[in-house]
C-alpha cells in the first residue's frame, strides 16, 4: 500500500508522514529505530476501517535528524504537528515501545487530542519501572564488536519470540537493511527512552486505554504493562504470545484487539 509522503513541521524540524484509508483518524507512533515501514503487517487491515496516519519519528527515515538528545515530549510535539498538518483535531492513538512512551506524553500533555489510547510493549519509564531485560542489555554491549549486518540481524531476532519463523526474521531484517538510519538519530531517540519517566503522572491520563504486551518480550519487561494498566484509569491489559514485535508475529490478533477496543 503506497501513499504520497507529506511533511509536517515542528519548529524547524520536518516530520514525514502518510495517510491511508478513510474513517475515524488513527495515529500510529512507532519505536526506536523503526520508521513508517514498521507498521507493514497492520497498515492495510487498519486502513480498511480507519484513516490511518503514520510517520517517521525525528531522527529516522524521511524525517529530519536534528541534534539530540531527544525527549518524549519532543516526540509528542511531533505527533501533534502531524495531526495539525493532516487537519485532524482528535485521533485514536496506537503507540509501541518508544512510540508508546511518546503516546503517554501525548495523552498527558495534549488530552484534547487523544480519544482512545493503545499502548503496546512499552513502559512508564523511570527508576521505579522494570529495567530492560539483561538479554537485551548484553546484546547492546556486544553489538559494537560485531559486523553491523550481524548485529542488526541479532537485534531483529531478539525482538521476536524464540522460534519465530525464519521468513519473518528475513522480512524484518531486509526492511531494516533497506531503511538504514543515522546512528546519531538512533542515539538521540534512545536518549528519549532512557530519560522518560511518567510513572507518577500516568494516573492523569484521561483517555480509555488498552495496554498490550507480548509474554516473551525481552526488550521491554512485560511487567511494565502491569504498571501501566494498574495506574491508568479505565485501562485494560491484554497479554498475548510473542516477543517485543508480537504485532509482526500475529498481526491479525493485534488488529482484532485494536478494532474491538476502538469500536
Q: For the chain, what are the domain ranges?
A: 6-262
pLDDT value, residue 1? 59
pLDDT value, residue 31? 96
CATH number assigned to the domain covering 6-262: 3.40.50.1820
pLDDT value, residue 34? 95
pLDDT value, residue 180? 81
Tens-level pLDDT at each residue, the chain (263 residues): 578 999 999 999 999 999 999 999 999 999 999 999 999 999 999 999 999 999 999 999 999 999 999 999 999 999 999 999 999 999 999 999 999 999 999 999 999 999 999 999 999 999 999 999 999 999 999 998 999 999 999 999 999 999 999 999 999 999 999 998 888 999 999 999 999 999 999 999 999 999 999 999 999 999 999 999 999 998 999 999 999 999 999 999 999 999 999 99
pLDDT digits (tens, 9 = 90+) for 130-184: 999 999 999 999 998 999 999 999 999 999 999 999 999 999 999 999 998 888 9
pLDDT value, residue 82? 98
pLDDT value, residue 3? 81
pLDDT digits (tens, 9 = 90+) for 239-257: 999 999 999 999 999 999 9
Kindly report the three-state secondary structure assignment for every residue of the chain: CCCCCEEEEECCEEEEEEEECCCEEEEEECCCCCCHHHHHHHHHHHHCCEEEEEECCCCCCCCCCCCCCCCHHHHHHHHHHHHHHCCCCCEEEEEECHHHHHHHHHHHHCHHHEEEEEEECCCCECCCCCCCCHHHHHHHHHHCCCCHHHHHHHHHHHCCCCCCCHHHHHHHHHHHHHCCCCHHHHHHHHHHHHCCECCCCHHHCCCCEEEEEECCCCCCCCHHHHHHHHHCCCEEEEEECCCCCHHHHCHHHHHHHHHHHHC
Amino acid at each position: 500500500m503506497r501513499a504520497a509522503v507529506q511533511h509536517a513541521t515542528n519548529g524547524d524540524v520536518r516530520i514525514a508522514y502518510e495517510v491511508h484509508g478513510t474513517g475515524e483518524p488513527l495515529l500510529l507512533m512507532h519505536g526506536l529505530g523503526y520508521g513508517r515501514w514498521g507498521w507493514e503487517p497492520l497498515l492495510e487491515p487498519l486502513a480498511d476501517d480507519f484513516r490511518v496516519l503514520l510517520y517517521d519519528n525525528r531522527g529516522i527515515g524521511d524525517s529530519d535528524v536534528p541534534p539530540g538528545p531527544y525527549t518524549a515530549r519532543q516526540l509528542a510535539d511531533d505527533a501533534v504537528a502531524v495531526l495539525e498538518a493532516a487537519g485532524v483535531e482528535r485521533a485514536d492513538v496506537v503507540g509501541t515501545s518508544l512510540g508508546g512512551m511518546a503516546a503517554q506524553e501525548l495523552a498527558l500533555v495534549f488530552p484534547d487530542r487523544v480519544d482512545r489510547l493503545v499502548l503496546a510493549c512499552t513502559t512508564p519509564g523511570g527508576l521505579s519501572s522494570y529495567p530492560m531485560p539483561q538479554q537485551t542489555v548484553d546484546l547492546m554491549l556486544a553489538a559494537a564488536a560485531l559486523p553491523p549486518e550481524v548485529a542488526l540481524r541479532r537485534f531483529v531476532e531478539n525482538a521476536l519470540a524464540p522460534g519465530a519463523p525464519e521468513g519473518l526474521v528475513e522480512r524484518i531484517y531486509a526492511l531494516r537493511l533497506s531503511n538504514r538510519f543515522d546512528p546519531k538519530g538512533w542515539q538521540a531517540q534512545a536518549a528519549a527512552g532512557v530519560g522518560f519517566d511518567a510513572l507518577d503522572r500516568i494516573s492523569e491520563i484521561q483517555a480509555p486505554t488498552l495496554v498490550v504486551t507480548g509474554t516473551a518480550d525481552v526488550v521491554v519487561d512485560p511487567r511494565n504493562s502491569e504498571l501501566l494498566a494498574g495506574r491508568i484509569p479505565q485501562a485494560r491489559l491484554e497479554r498475548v504470545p510473542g516477543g517485543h514485535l508480537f504485532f509482526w508475529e500475529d498481526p491479525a490478533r493485534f488488529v482484532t484487539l485494536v478494532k474491538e477496543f476502538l469500536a
